[in-house]
Structure 1
Amino acid sequence: MRICGVELKGGEAIISLLNYEGETFNVPACRQISFTLSANSNTTTIKEFHFAFHKLMEDYHVDEIAIIAREQKGKQAGSATSFKMEAAIEITDKPVAIITPLAIKEQLKRNPPLVEFDSLELKRVQRSAFEVAYVHHNHHIFGKA
């Protein structure tokens, strides 16, 4: 199973792919680690983002997508652009899970990865995207997100 973890920050979607075979995982190389969308996006740019994101999912044979949930109100609220990006990502035939930061933190505490993040071939900015993909897979194993 191949999972794409997504962290939406402002107008950027940061991704990390995670490939599972049995009980082991690896982080496959990917031609792109992020997608951007300007704050003044119009219908055309959103369609372009949707196409580019889902083309990457198709090219890398991604089975499921896991997105880190953002607050809708208050100081920590996600931007309008990030919610547009989320909607564009969710328009797919692949399963999409939205996982809260609290659920990610709790799952990582219960079942931490057996490898140090620094030893993975990922950029530091991809850490949260990797973690949501890892937690999503654990949900399949342990039944808790």
Structure 2
Amino acid sequence: MRVCGVELKGGEAVICLLSQEGDTFNIPDCRKQSFQVSHSAATESIVDFHFAFKKLLEDYKVDEVAIIEREQKGKFAGSATSFKLEAAIQLCGLPVTLIQPQDIKAQLKRNPPQVDFVGLELKKFQENAFEVAYAFQMMKQFNKVW
């Protein structure tokens, strides 16, 4: 199964692809590590983001998407743009799971990755996207995805 982990922050979607075959994890090469949306008030910008993201999911044969859940209100609430991006991703036609940050941390503590992040050949800014993809795979493996 191939999962696309997504961290939404501001007008950016940072991604990491992670596939699992048996007990082996693989991070396939990907042409993009993030998508930027600079003018979220313009319909064309959101449509362009949706098209590009959906195309990436199709090209890399992604089965599911896991997104780090953001607060909807309060001091640490996500931006309006991040919620627009989330909706555009949810309309790509694949199952999308939102995972709370505390669930990701708990899963990483229970089942830590067998390799350091530095050895994965990912950019530092992709670490959270990798963690949500990895936590999702672990939850799915142990049937803890709701």
Into which bin does the TM-score normalised by the smaller protein fall?
Answer: over 0.9
**Cα displacement (A) at 1:93:** 2.2
User: 2:123 & 2:66 partners in 1: Cα distance?
Assistant: 18
Is the deviation greater in 58-67 or in 35-44? 35-44
Residue 20 of structure 1 and its aligned partner are, at CA, apart by 1.0
Contact 2:40 2:46 (8 Å CA) reproduced: no
- Identity over the aligned pairs, expressed in percent? 62
Give the TM-score normalised by structure 2. Answer: 0.96
Contact 1:18 1:25 in 2 (8 A): yes
What SS does structure 1 have at the residue aligned with 2:138? helix
Cα pair 2:19 2:28 within 8 Å, conserved: yes
Task: Please say if residues 16 and 133 of structure 1, whose CA atoms lie closer than 8 Å, have aligned partners that are also in contact.
Answer: yes
Alpha-carbon distance, 1:133 to partner: 0.4
Change (3 A) 1:138 1:40: closer
CA contact (8 A) 2:50 2:92 kept: no
| Residue in structure 2 matched with residue 108 of structure 1 by the alignment | 108
Structure 1 stretches of 4+ with a deviation exceeding 2 A read: none
Instruction: In structure 2, list runs of 5 or more residues that go unmatched.
Output: none
Cα RMSD, aligned residues only:
1.0
> Paired residues, what number?
145
| 1:14 and 2:23 are equivalent in the alignment | no
Asked if 2 retains the 8 angstrom alpha-carbon contact of 1:5 and 1:131, the reply is yes
Report the TM-score, using the length of structure 1 for normalisation.
Answer: 0.96
Task: Kindly provide the amino acid, as one letter, of the partner of residue 79 in structure 1.
Answer: S
- State the Cα distance separating 1:139 from its structure 2 match: 1.1
For residue 118 of structure 1, what is the aligned residue in structure 2?
Answer: 118
